[in-house]
Chain A
Amino acid sequence: MGGGSRSAKTRCGCFHTPFASRNAFFDPILDAVCFGYFTADTEKPGENLPGQTVFTCLSQDIIAHEVTHAVVHRLREHFLDPTNQDVLGFHEGFSDIVAIFQHFTFPGVLREAIQETQGKLNQAGPMIELAAQFGHATGRGGALRTALDDPDPKRYQDVVEPHARGSILVAAVFDAFFASYQARIEDLLRIATTGTGVLPEGALHPDLVDRLAGEAADTAQTILTMCIRAFEYLPPVDITYGDYLRALVTADFDLVAEDGAAQRTAMVEAFRRRGIFPEGVISLAEDSLIWAQAVDVAIEPMPPLAIQLQMASSALGFQARAGGARASGDPINKQAYAALHAWAVKHAAALDLDPETKVEVNGFHATYRVRPNGELVIELVVQFVQMLSTLDDSRYGGLPLRGGSTVVASADGDVRFVISKPLPSKTIREGKRQEAESRRQRQLAFVGRHDAEDAAVPWAGEDYFKGRMQVKDFRVIHQGLIG
């Protein structure tokens, strides 16, 4: 069975495609999510019938994971270009995060898990495990992946395989979730244990379970929302876990300045324990982590025409993304993009863009958020992307050097954040020039690391070698792990 959602059409189609394989993946070219089916291992089937037919399209976890890949790709098409060690890990990790936090939306399952673990959700069990049936059915003897780990900065240094690297991100976010959850239930436990902190043996009182479940579900929703909101504050290319941490902190601070549940501190701490540090920050204090606000930058607000068109089109409903070479036939969108493009070229220096390289408008949309006090916040987010070709330099393995900026503005067009990944260029300001060069070095170093580990390099033809860093699809990434 496969499901597809087309960017050119506005409806989603589901259709059968015989696809006998222990795999499920998102195909960016077909713009489809493909789910395979297979027979369970006959010797170690776990809880399945030996030889039972297992459909990956029936797995809540696999669906959530794969569809999230599709969504991430829609929001950031260049997050499939492995320009550094974290890029593919981010795709996998983020998809796992969404899948795991979905577990908390099933009240019955959640209550049962709380009862079984006596509220200690950071223990092995269905809440924090992914794709258990798949894992057992393929003879692994356990779930495919889990949200738990033993925090070890060395792993972040060494591990490159995308799913394993993604697991580090998942574990960090789950760590933050669990810390927040524990803080929230402290008072409940105090009441329940009359101050001793020790829960009685045996079953918990059903009222307590309900309250704990409620807190767990709320916390899960809060953390997941935090993770999703952070997207708006991500650069358009070359993402690192450090960037994501900064985006998490910025997004949350921007909306909920008072650190009520200390979730941001928990997040920073969880990343720190795993050796994940953003580049170019002077400390792990919140002020340092938040993306620099663009207050000093002399830049006029975004073109009003573009804003008006965006608001109008948002009111009409979801429209396809358009811009640059892929501009749709829609005349409204074309106008908006033209205005934004002109604006970007005019303010290239302030936006950390290279005026001598073509600027592509890679997406423009409005975001609608509600503060805790009920206030509606509307913001505008536009992504500009640039590229330097590397076709004649095999050291890059077929991936161009890309740079760009995500610009976040308030509803009246005042630029609030410029989150940039600059291209090496003479005109970019000094501080950013060094950053651009070290980005380039990092990309080359990653190709070198890939080559050292890739067993195919000695045997492969020239075609493979030229495009060896290009990820054609997720099937290839999954093949390392499955089947």
Chain B
Amino acid sequence: MLDRELKKGSAELLILSLVEHEPRHGYELSKLIDTRSNGAIRFHVASLYPLLYRLEKRGWIEGRWVEKASQRRRRYYRLTAEGRRTLAAQRRNWREFVEAIARITEVQHG
């Protein structure tokens, strides 16, 4: 189980990247996180929706109800232009962080 601290900081990054290429709804997002991390990250649903709304309030994602003929309607979230920019920045920060940690740990061991 990954450390809680890491999870908190990266939650936003996760959501943003998951909606980068196509819009998704809340349940879909929670399932994807679960499957793609091979169960390492399990998002508590209680924090999912508040997070989604916080991101929406900041203008990084946009939620819209979609009604198809055969199904009940569901709310899809997609990335906005500003969200795209934030995602790029957060990815960069995350990468730098991971590399820095790696350098430190490698030196110590090396």
- A and B held together in a complex: no
